[in-house]
Structure formats: C-alpha cells, structure tokens
Chains A and B, each alone.
Chain A
C-alpha cells in the first residue's frame, strides 16, 4: 500500500505561481500606498508613501527565496522587479500630473498659520499639542509664539518658519560681506590620500607632505583627517596615539 502524499501547498488555490505572484505584488503595492495615505503623514518617517512601501516590501520579498532554498529564485525576482517597475511608472506619472501626485502623497498641512495653531488641521493629521511641541523642539524651537508658520510636509517632516524678528541672524541682515570659502574637501582620510580631491584643489602630494610635517606629523598615515576649503583653510586632525 502506498502512502498518499500531498504537494507543498495542499490547497490548490493557495500555491505560488508567477502570474499570481505578479498580480499579488501589484495589489499589495497599491493597497499599502492607500493604507499609508490613510494612516497619515506622521507614520512615514521622512519617506514618501511610495518610497516607504517599496523599501518595506523589497527586503521581505527578496528574503523569502533566500531562506527557503526549495522556492525558485524567480519568486523573489518577479515581485522585486514588479515593485521597482511599478514605482518607476507611478513616480513618473506623479511628476507629470500634479493631481495624481496629490492623490498619491497628499499635500502639506499648515499646522500653524500666522502664529495661530490650526486645530482642524491638527485633528486631521492626528497630531496632539505634545507631539507638535516635540517636532518644534527637534527644529530648535522652544517658544511656540515665535513660530509664524509650521508645515507638516508630505514625508512627515515639520518645516518651521519663525517670525522675522526671531529668524536667525544672517550676514545679509547685518549688511556684512561674508567670504565664500567654498566646500571643504578631504585630502587625507584615515591615513589615506584622496588623490582626486587633491587634484581638484590644484595641489600635489609634495605640498601635502609639507603641510602634514608643518603640523607635527612625520607621515601621512599618521593623519586621521585633513580637509582644505576653497580659500586654502585647513582642518587637521592627527590619529589618536600619534606623537
């Protein structure tokens, strides 16, 4: 007498298949974007709904055939490619059509308008006053009366615009000419010479060695970090333990 055995998935309508995998991926992708939109901006953590869905799903989808060697790799490849292609198509369409973009990502919410907390918008975003305070403190604001506008962006971050009298002082406001030193570039990182950056500055290794020796280091390998900006200003840090 032979023992009757069943296939891996005894439920014939619950098995895995290429077409099923493809359609399921598209459905779950759309469903997750919709869910994230309903959940609100605060859940997003600095990612747009579309980006978050792809980031969350891809790792899980790719991991399944890696963990179960009995599952063909194609069941990892097909959903990942489907997700990537869907993301590309949807983000392309959203760039072209503003209405679609608003549907997909929502629109920024003005939580403080001309110094007044918009309570209806706070309610809509499911944000408490305490949470608003947390976000303001993260932005370096401790006194809410100094805020003219606070906007909850579509990726869940809060943009804070203070009143002019509380805005940070800038050289422009002080009518002072500020020198533009350009972007500092690293020329030595953890004892290694960044030749491309050195070339970009129009300097050579001979000059670099001289600068290193001038700062009390015998060898380049003893330098932890050295940066040079457009005006020639140097930041220099020796490796710990080097005399």
Chain B
C-alpha cells in the first residue's frame, strides 16, 4: 500500500506543480504585458525615454527568469519573444510611432499565446 500512496502523492505533486506553473507563467506574462503596454503608451505621447526604460525593464524581467522559462517553455518560443523585445527597442530608438505600436501588439500577442498555452482549458487539453 505504501507504493500506491507514494504514487498518489506523486500524481498530486505533478498536478500541483502544473497548476503552480500556470500561475507563475501568467504572473510573468502579465507583468511583461503591463510593462510593454505602458511603453507603448509612453511612445504614443512622445516620451521615448520612458518607453525605452519600460522595455528594458521588461527585457530584464524576462532574462532574469531564463532558468525557469527554459525548463517549461519551448526554446524557440523563448527566442522569438526575446527577439520581439529587441525589435521593439530598435523601433523606439528610431522613434517611429507606427512601428512601435505594431511591435507592442506583436509582443503582447505572443505573451497572450504563451499564457494560453500554459492554461488548463478544455480547448488546450483536447
């Protein structure tokens, strides 16, 4: 019976880890989305310095979680998102409002996709 109890505990632990992972990814993506959106707003009002600082802050947060994200996310997705941040920074440095807004949309869309991939919904299960 000990073996079975251990197996049950293992199943419960995997489920708990999965739920925690979903919560953690939602937290990271939520924080990044907020920073990127505020960068977009700053760019809209012509505050390019704040816009750049927000994206740099987002990139710092993203890079600081690399160890974790590399364990749970597809590596190609991580690279795509990192490239998105650098591209956004590039557009901010050229101060092109249209390109910045579309880059902001792309980053937030990718962040939303990652969150949805990790969330436990009927659609993602079946």
Contact = CB atoms under 8 A, between A and B. Distances in A.
Interface of A: 1-2, 4-9, 12-24, 27, 69-72, 74, 78, 81-82, 84-89, 92-93
Interface stretch (B27-35, B47-55, B99-107): B99-107
Contacts of A23: 120, 125
B14 A22 contact: yes
A20 to B, nearest CB: 5
B77 interface: yes
A19 B102 contact: no
A129 B106 CA distance: 66
A2 B91 contact: yes
Contact of A17 (B87, B110, B124): B124
B18 A19 contact: yes
Contact of A2 (B103, B116, B124): B103
A10 to B, nearest CB: 8
Contacts of B15: 19, 22
A14 B125 CA distance: 8
- Looking at chain A's contact residues, the main secondary structure is helix
B112 A19 contact: no
B57 interface: no
Contact of B77 (A1, A7, A92): A7
Contacts of A86: 7, 11
Contacts of B72: 17-18, 72, 74
Given A4-B106, A17-B22, A92 B117 contact: no
A2 B73 CA distance: 24
A82 B14 contact: yes
Given A8-B77, A88-B4, 7 more contacts: A2-B87, A2-B99, A2-B102, A5-B106, A74-B72, A85-B10, A89-B4
Contacts of A5: 80, 83-84, 106
Given A12-B117, A17-B119, A70 B11 contact: no
B70 interface: yes
22 contacts: A1-B99, A5-B83, A7-B80, A7-B81, A7-B110, A7-B114, A8-B76, A12-B113, A13-B117, A13-B124, A15-B117, A15-B118, A16-B117, A18-B17, A19-B22, A19-B119, A20-B118, A20-B124, A69-B75, A81-B10, A81-B14, A88-B3
